[in-house]
Structures are given as structure tokens and as C-alpha cells.
């Protein structure tokens, strides 16, 4: 998908296993930036950066092996956004790691990346997409999810992070 926003060319691309090493390195860097942001918030003290480092080391396989994938957003060819997803049950996905670099915020990339995952879920015959978030640390993302139709739901995993909220979007 390609569009233009505020004079910048925006492109969203899937990160396949056979992606060029530079593309995978860009995706890993964004994933680790997400992790650094998360651990900088005391509200999210249960987040394990070591697990995220392992996830990043095997990106995109860490999602593809679970019937998911990873998308990269570019603004004028610079990698500035990331989102991933994985299957958690038949016809059910979990969206993970939505991150837009600070210099690219305000371009609608969070919405575009989330919508791209939802579109893929619909095309794959999914019935729901779940996610978890910490509104106190990620207020903008939380507002985005709610405006896109995600609603609170019971916990679907045993995430130990304090202040976590679970959301679902029925498709």
C-alpha cells in the first residue's frame, strides 16, 4: 500500500523471511525501540525486555511461525513504523508491537498499520483480533484502538504487566 500524507510518501510492506537483511535490521531496530519505550515507563515494570530481544533476533519468524506476520511502514523510504500479529486460536489473531517512531507520529501510520492487520485478518477468515495494551503508558495507541472499534474483553493470556487492558475487535 502506498499513499501520500503531508507531502511524504507512505508505504506499508510485509516483512517476509526472505526480506533483504537491511529490511530485517530496520524492523528489528523498530521493535527494540518499542521495547525501550515500554521499559522506560514504571507502569509497565513486568515487561521483559530479554524476551523481546529474542523475539527481535528471530524476526519475522517469531510471528510467521505462529501463522502471523510483520508489517513495516515507511515514510519517504525511512522505516518508521512496525506492527506484528500471530494466531492465538483458530480464526483468531493477536496484534502485537504497534510502534511508530516519534519523528513520524501524526501521519496516521498507527491507524494504517492497524487497519492493514485487520484487512489481512478479514481476508484470512478470522473472527476476531485481540490485543493488550497499557493505557497509562500508551494513551495514544489506546485511543486509536477504541476509535477503530476494539472493545474491552476478559484476559486472554497471563501477561504480568501492571495496568494492562485487553481489547478485541470482532470481524
Domain boundaries, the chain: 2-170
Q: Is the dihedral of CA 71, 56, 48, 85 positive or negative?
A: positive
Q: Which residues pair with 153 in a beta bridge?
A: none
CATH topology of domain 2-170: Aminopeptidase (3.40.630)
Give the integer Cα–Cα distance in Å for 106 and 102.
9
* Helix 21-39, helix 49-57: angle, nearest 10: 170
**SS3 of 57-103:** HCCCHHHHCCCCEEEEEEECCEEEEEEEEEEEECCEEEEEEEEECHH
Per-residue pLDDT of the chain (171 residues; tens, 9 = 90+): 767 777 778 899 999 999 999 999 999 999 999 888 877 766 555 555 557 788 899 999 999 999 999 999 999 999 999 999 999 999 999 999 999 999 999 999 999 999 999 999 999 999 999 999 989 888 999 999 999 999 999 999 887 777 889 999 999
Q: What DSSP character marks residue 104? A: G
Give the integer Cα–Cα distance in Å for 142 and 112.
15
Residue 163: the pLDDT is 83
Amino acid at each position: 500500500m502506498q499513499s501520500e500524507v503531508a507531502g511524504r510518501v507512505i508505504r506499508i510492506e510485509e516483512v517476509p523471511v526472505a526480506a533483504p537483511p537491511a529490511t530485517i535490521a530496520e524492523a528489528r531496530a523498530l521493535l527494540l525501540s518499542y521495547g525501550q519505550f515500554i521499559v522506560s515507563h514504571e507502569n509497565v515494570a513486568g515487561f521483559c525486555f530479554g524476551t523481546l530481544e529474542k523475539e527481535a533476533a528471530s524476526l519475522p519468524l517469531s510471528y510467521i511461525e505462529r501463522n502471523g506476520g510483520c508489517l513495516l511502514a515507511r515514510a519517504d523510504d525511512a522505516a518508521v513504523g512496525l506492527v506484528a500479529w500471530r494466531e492465538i486460536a483458530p480464526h483468531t489473531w493477536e496484534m502485537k508491537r504497534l510502534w511508530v517512531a516519534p519523528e513520524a507520529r501524526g501521519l496516521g501510520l498507527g491507524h494504517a498499520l492497524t487497519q492493514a492487520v485487520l484487512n489481512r485478518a478479514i481476508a484470512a477468515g478470522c473472527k476476531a483480533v485481540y490485543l493488550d495494551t497499557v493505557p497509562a503508558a500508551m494513551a495514544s495507541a489506546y485511543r486509536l484502538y477504541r476509535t477503530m472499534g476494539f472493545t474491552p474483553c476478559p484476559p486472554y493470556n497471563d501477561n504480568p504487566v501492571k495496568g494492562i487492558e485487553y481489547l478485541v475487535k470482532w470481524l
